[in-house]
Amino acid sequence: MNKRFFLLLILPITVILISSTLDLDSLLDYENQIIPSYITKDNTTTNIITDEGVTLGRVLFYDKNLSANNTIACASCHIQEFAFGDTAVASIGLNGGTTGRHSMRLINARFSDEARFFWDERANTLEDQTTMPIQDHVEMGFSDTNGDPDIDSLIRKLETLEYYNQLFQFVYGDTIITESRLQECLAQFVRSIQSFDSKFDQGRSNVNGNGVPFSNYTNDENSGKQLFLLAPQFDNQGNRVGGGLGCQVCHQAPEFSINPTSRNNGVISSLTLSIDVDNTRSPTLRDLFDQNGNLNGPMMHDGSFMTIDQVLDHYDSIPNQAGNNNLSPLLRPQGNLQRLHMTTLERSQLIDFLKTLSGNDVYTNAKWSNPFTNDSLIVLGGNTSISLTDYTYDRVKVYPNPFIESIYVEWEENSQSQVDLYDINGKWLKSIPANTHVNLSDLGRGIYLLRIGKASQRIVKL
């Protein structure tokens, strides 16, 4: 494969910034990620993950240009360090506004029978979900309400960014940007975020079934797993008198995704309303904790539970709350509110088990990381180019760009310009003579800067 080089033209008054590079000739692997054979749930339908689509989706996910004032990206509320959730109860949107519900963790969003998204399931698909925050007045500001621009304004904005011209050409064969294409690629990126390197997966891969004791588990972890999986036995008053804790009924192993038939879980407090009973979805319980055993932010749609013990307190004794006409029947055994009467040991064992559901890779893997540096990005390869053939400054023309072996700098005889070549870190390499092909094949593959200025204003070497 030929080496490819990229030149940026830097005007005399321009500050040299280091930009991140995205090499389309060396895509990261999203298509062939290993999914364990025991994972069977998948809400992908027809929008199949491709390396190309996810690459574009990753850029969109981290790009603050998708907000009306260039301050908020999807990744502002869904942070890789916290399993793509947020440690804030309510995430900050445009101009200091905050979200109406806690930002749900996106980890393993693909692996669920539940295909609807948001806490209240108002998005029919993940594709629908991806552009709803963009079109929210508080979150990203392209709402077409309250004086906000509309989604078409965003599309026109993205069309002015050269890296999107390159990326859409690479993925779709043309530079046309549409909302449906934004949705497709953002959804592909979110579905690519997976975590299957946990202690649970290590144990599950060696046995046939979730309920079999795992050889890599402690006794307490295996006991906690059984408590999670086994159904409780209740008396006619809703009191648990035997069996397990029944967590599996709503949070289905081995994906630990929400049962699509479950309804409200008894938490009806709200960040914005008097009561909020329409919350019926949940993120997976995988990576509820991070690698170090710390919670990845507050829990529930209102972020009201800051500790795992508060969660267990809630399910141990479901509160009797007026106005909740949507409480899940799964929490009302024989029509009575659930009373689990967990012992101190059972709590400890269940928590030990929940911590085994967390992996390591997803928190640091570059394939899901921010591709921007200083909000700047340069795209290389993929048979794409930012053509500066017709770029002229002070009667200077430079072409081709990107180049393989040589460039040509063309200028008029009476031009007083000086052209100098620098590496991406600002180190001066050489001056470029006028009106001749300059062989630069001795340079390594990468990005280089051209500084065009008056000879009398030649800058010093950096």
Q: Is position 273 within any domain?
A: yes
Burial of 5 (0-12, 13-18, 19+ CB in 10 A): buried
Domain membership of residue 433 as a residue range: 1-19+376-462
pLDDT value, residue 90: 97
Q: What is the pLDDT of residue 155?
A: 98
Is the domain of 45 the same as that of 188?
A: yes
Residues pairing with 422 in the sheet: 428, 449
pLDDT at 285: 98
* pLDDT score for 410: 72
- For tokens 């440690």, name the residue: 87
Q: What is the pLDDT of residue 436?
A: 72
Are 336 and 435 in the same domain? no
**pTM of the shown model:** 0.82
pLDDT at 385: 38
| Structural domain contains residue 364 | no
Asked whether residue 25 is domain-assigned, the answer is no
- Are 188 and 61 members of one domain? yes
- Round to whole Å and give the CA distance between 411 and 423: 22
Q: Look at residue 457 in the predicted model and tell me its pLDDT.
A: 39
62 shares its domain with 188: yes
CA distances from 117 to 43, 245, 254, 282 (A): 11, 27, 20, 9
In this structure, the answer to whether residues 337 and 419 fall within a common structural domain is: no
* Confidence (pLDDT) at 455: 42
- 370 found inside a domain: no
Asked if 84 contacts 106 with a C-beta cutoff of 8 angstroms, the reply is yes
In the chain (462 residues long), the average pLDDT of successive 10-residue segments reads 47 41 92 97 96 98 97 98 98 93 98 96 98 97 96 97 93 95 98 98 97 98 98 97 98 98 96 94 98 97 98 97 95 96 98 98 97 86 47 56 69 60 72 76 70 46 27
Same domain, 223 and 352: yes
Q: Are residues 43 and 141 in the same domain?
A: yes
In a domain, 108, yes or no: yes
In a domain, 366, yes or no: no
